[in-house]
Amino acid sequence: YGKNTHQIVEPLVTIVASPNGGNPDEIPNEDSRSFELDDLNIFAANRFTGLDRWDGGSRVAYGIRYGIYGQETQGRITIAQSYQLDKNDVFGEASGLTGNWSDYVLALNVTFSPYFDYIHKLRLDKDNFTVRRNELVTTFGPKSFKLSVGYLDINRNLDDPNEDSNDLEDRREVRTSAQYDINENWSTYSSYTRNLKDGGKSIYADAGVLYQNECVQFKVTFRKRFIRDRDIEPSTSINFGFVL
C-alpha cells in the first residue's frame, strides 16, 4: 500500500483449558482489587496480575489487529472478545467477564513521527455497547523533553460498589507527566493525577531526579499522596532507588 507503507492484518486466538473452581479460601488475597479488562490481558492464560488469585476454566479469546506502517507514521487497531465455557465467578460483577461472553475491548495506537504518540483504549458492554472504560494517553515532544496527558473514565454500572467486594467505585481522572533530559546521564521527571469526580481533588503527585549510565541507575523521588479512605491517610515520602 503505497511506496513506503505496508499493511498487516493479524487474526488473534488464544485457547485456554484448565480446571474449573474458585480460589482457595486458605490463600489470602493480597493482590490489588483493581482489575481492568483490556486488549492485552484478555489473551493471557491468567488474567489476574498477581499470584494470589487464579483464573480457572476453559475459554477462547479471539480478535483481529489491523496495522498500517509508514516511515514516520504508523498505527494499529485491535478488537477482541472472549468466550468462557463455564461462567466464571472469580471476577467482579463490573469486570466485563461475568457470564459466558466477555465485553468487547478495543485499542488504538498511533505514532505521528518521533514527536507524537496517541493511545486510546475502550471497553464496550457486550449487551448494549455502553462504554464501560474510556482511556486515552497522548505523548508529545522531542526525545529530550516528553510531556504526557491522559484521561481515564471507568463506568462500572454498579449502583452500590459495596454490593460486590471485587469491584471498586467509578473513576474519572486526568493524569499528566513530564520528563526532561538535562544531559546524557541526568534527567528530571514529575507527574500529577487529579480526580474529576466529586468536585475534583488531587490524588497523587511526584517529582524526582534520575542519574543513569551503562552500569548504574540512581534516583530520588518526592511523592505526595492525597487519598483519604477509612484508615488510609494522606502521606508524603522521599524514596531512593539504586539499580546495578
Query: Coil, strand, or helix at residue 179?
Result: strand
Q: How many helices (H) and strands (E) are present in the chain, helices listed first? A: 0, 12
pLDDT tens string 170-197 = 889 999 999 999 999 999 999 999 999 8
Q: What is the mean pLDDT of residues 41-46?
A: 90
Lowest mean pLDDT among 45-54, 72-81, 145-154: 45-54
- CB 169 within 8 Å of CB 156: yes
168 pLDDT band (50/70/90 cuts)? low
Residue owning grid cell 448494549? 128
pTM here is 0.83
The mean pLDDT of 86-104, rounded to a whole number, is 83
φ, ψ for residue 203, nearest 5 deg: -110, -45
Residue 135: the pLDDT is 95
Give pLDDT, residue 165: 47
pLDDT tens digits, 107-128? 999 998 889 999 999 999 999 9
Categorise residue 21: left if φ over 0, alpha if ψ from -120 to 50, beta otherwise: left
